[in-house]
Structure 1
Amino acid sequence: MSSQELVGLAEVADLANVSRTVVSNWRTRDNRFPTPVADLRSGPVFDFDDIVKYLMRRKKAVAQVIATINLKGGVGKTTTTIGLAEFLSAEFGKKVLVIDLDPQTNATTVLIGEDRWRELNDRGQTLVSLFTDALRRAGEDASFDLDASLQRQVSPVKEVRTVDLLPSSLDLIDVQDRLASMPSGQFYSDNPTDLLRRAVKPVLNNYDYVLVDCPPNLGIVTLNGLRIADGYIIPTIPDVLSTYGIPQIQSRVMSFADNIGETIHELGIVITKYRSASTVHATTINRLVDSEDLPPVFDTWVPEGNAIAASAEYSTTATLRQKYQYQGGYEVFRALAKEFISAADEIA
């Protein structure tokens, strides 16, 4: 008779110090997860030694890649991205890469300032070079240099020491329309939505989190961001116009994920620029929360306020408390970052 030790999903969760939901996600998404020894009425059981070996392999750093997207501009998308990046770094000790795909370059200028951005743009050390290379004819030299473009230890907040940046460029507006006609390459190996993944693959797992600030559209540049994403969040003002495109985002992301054979999870909707005195805001939030078809709504709502609005400017401060101020902004973004970590863990 075999002395093989068996464990169920609850025991696996205890061994890994995660929730049972996380273990279920591992089984669904990770083809390395051990095959059950048997499927009992109480659930599947696994060989203990196989599970231990699997958990040891999972200890290797694997970045969580989360895209931020909304089809409407001005909804606090970049403010949310930068706030999460800075708090994940300074408050929770995480290493974060911000990939700015938005041609408006707001995330880039908030983190490094306009002067430094202009220098990089003039030298071709932004992500526009990556996409321009895809349009070059066979035999022409590529210009994108990942190491030169990657800006390390950015943010004007001194206590934020572990945020890196791949900067954007205004020229992405012109390049995006031309990407659909890029050369296909030998055996049709060049895919216009796979350019970013192939470029950043060498550095991706140097980080705990990669935050991709996507343009306010569902074009090829945005699809490059979604191609590397494990999940996405939708920052939005709680009004009709800002939330109108959420179902379109959901259906397009789902179709794209099915097409590439991957799962891109809905982490949730982040309420931004919230006004407690607004009946429209209260009504819209209730509609979002009550809907069974829309993504879940984060419990933390980012209020409209001067300190949070000012956080979208490049301004040197010593601490996050000084940047976001003690009343409101700091506490809100810290709570949002903590909730974000929990949501990302659920899809790990």
Structure 2
Amino acid sequence: MRFTVAESDNELMGIAEIAQLAGVTPQAVANWRARQAGFPQPVASLKSGPVFRRTQVRAWLRRRVPMAHVISFINLKGGVAKTTTTIAVAEILAGEFGKDVLVVDLDPQTNATIQLVSEDKWEELDEHGYTLARLFEDALDPDNARFDLGRTLQKGASYVRAVRTLDLLPSSLKLIDIQDRLATISGGKFYAQNPIDILRKAVKPVLDNYDYVLIDCPPNLGIITLNGLRISEGYIIPTIPDVLSTYGIPQIIRRVEQFSEAIAEEIEPLGIVVTKFQAQMPLHARTVAELRRGRDAEVFETVIPQRQEIAEAAEYTGVSTLRQKWGYRGEYRAFEALTKEIMEVVSP
């Protein structure tokens, strides 16, 4: 696949808009320009003042003011606890650390959605078109656009009563049929339509309402996954420590690096998470050691064990605490430790 970026991806903004985004005065922005050597250079100087690329400004601001950390979770192989890890980290960020969290479910299997809002609720949302499938369908037929961000966004999605600040953008099985058609969308007026930019345009109004945005990507590097990576500062690769589960890791890193270069924005490999680890299996121990010696990406210190309690956590049942959901025999502690590591990586 050849990566292209529409002109609209290089959205411009002035001093006043930067000030509004950062929550400071225009004078403060002027001071940054004068005193901070790394402040983005303007792309043009108009009579009304200098203008800057929004993507460059956001990247610079993220290191200085509170903005959403957007992280994609991806592996090319299914069954590696990708969704489980995404949901556990999201719930602990919200319930334990008091963060405002948005889960974006881009995986057509809809497992993240069903874990958070139940299968009955998902069927109701899907029937009324309140899933991300509607967003991508609109890109195929923009003259009949019907995506409603407000109704699609599910507030307070987790069934764990201690988790109150976790929202969800739900997925749909319909994404399976939609993905292959996205490459054919028209460039539209002024050639502003780009198939990798659909999600970014839709969530831009709410993105910085959150501390963390976690994206559960499909097990491929297709257009829908690229939509998630397009708005991400980094990505995490959950994997079982065996040959088949780790085989695609170099390909993921290579392709994301190529995509990052094509859109001229950094997308950092934040690390590999070892999941479903069985200490009694020599293969698992050898594979973890090989991953830690490798050069593909850093490996998080925390290892998530293979436990029945973690598998049962996928069932939608009302519980009061995160420990009740994720397990008392060290399972919750493992996910909590992983969450702390992730927070330290993105906010050193």
Q: Fold conserved (TM > 0.5)?
A: yes
Q: Which of 272, 296, 299 is the aligned partner of 1:297?
A: 299
Say whether the 8 Å CA contact 1:196–1:225 is kept in structure 2: yes
Match of 1:177, SS? helix
Q: Which of 251, 271, 275 is the aligned partner of 1:272?
A: 275
The residue that corresponds to 1:121 in the other structure is 126
Matched ranges for 1:116-195 at <5 A: 116-136=121-141, 140-195=143-198
Structure-1-length-normalised TM-score: 0.82
* Number of residue-to-residue matches in the alignment: 296
Q: Which of 106, 121, 125 is the aligned partner of 2:111?
A: 106
The one-letter amino acid of 1:211's match is L
The residue that corresponds to 2:236 in the other structure is 233
The residue that corresponds to 2:347 in the other structure is 345
Match of 1:326, SS? coil
The one-letter amino acid of 1:344's match is V
Say whether the 8 Å CA contact 1:110–1:313 is kept in structure 2: yes
The one-letter amino acid of 1:306's match is Q
Task: For residue 187 of structure 1, report the CA deviation from its aligned partner.
Answer: 2.5
Give the Cα separation in 2 of the matches to 1:56 and 1:172.
33
Are 2:126 and 1:86 aligned? no
* 1:87-108 Cα deviation digits (max 9, x unpaired): 0011111110000000000000
Task: For residue 141 of structure 1, report the CA deviation from its aligned partner.
Answer: 2.4
Give the Cα separation in 1 of the matches to 2:149 and 2:307.
37
Change (3 A) 1:294 1:123: same
The one-letter amino acid of 1:334's match is E
* 1:210-252 Cα deviation digits (max 9, x unpaired): 0000000000000000000000000000000000000000011
The one-letter amino acid of 2:156's match is Q
Match of 1:285, SS? helix
Give the Cα separation in 1 of the matches to 2:325 and 2:208.
29
Say whether the 8 Å CA contact 1:61–1:206 is kept in structure 2: no
Match of 2:238, SS? strand
Give the Cα separation in 1 of the matches to 2:34 and 2:301.
33
Task: For residue 56 of structure 1, report the CA deviation from its aligned partner.
Answer: 10
The one-letter amino acid of 1:337's match is T
Are 2:71 and 1:63 aligned? no
The one-letter amino acid of 1:102's match is D
* 1:271-319 Cα deviation digits (max 9, x unpaired): 000000011101100100001x211000000000011111122121000
The residue that corresponds to 1:259 in the other structure is 262
* 1:12-44 Cα deviation digits (max 9, x unpaired): xxxxxxxxxxxxxxxxxx9998118xxxxxxxx
Change (3 A) 1:71 1:60: same
The residue that corresponds to 2:319 in the other structure is 317
The residue that corresponds to 1:326 in the other structure is 328
Q: Which of 212, 219, 226 is the aligned partner of 2:222?
A: 219
Say whether the 8 Å CA contact 1:126–1:168 is kept in structure 2: yes
The one-letter amino acid of 2:192's match is S
Change (3 A) 1:287 1:122: same
Structure 1 vs Structure 2 CA RMSD: 1.8
Are 2:212 and 1:209 aligned? yes
The one-letter amino acid of 1:324's match is W
Give the Cα separation in 1 of the matches to 2:208 and 2:260.
21
The residue that corresponds to 2:82 in the other structure is 77
Percent identity (aligned): 57
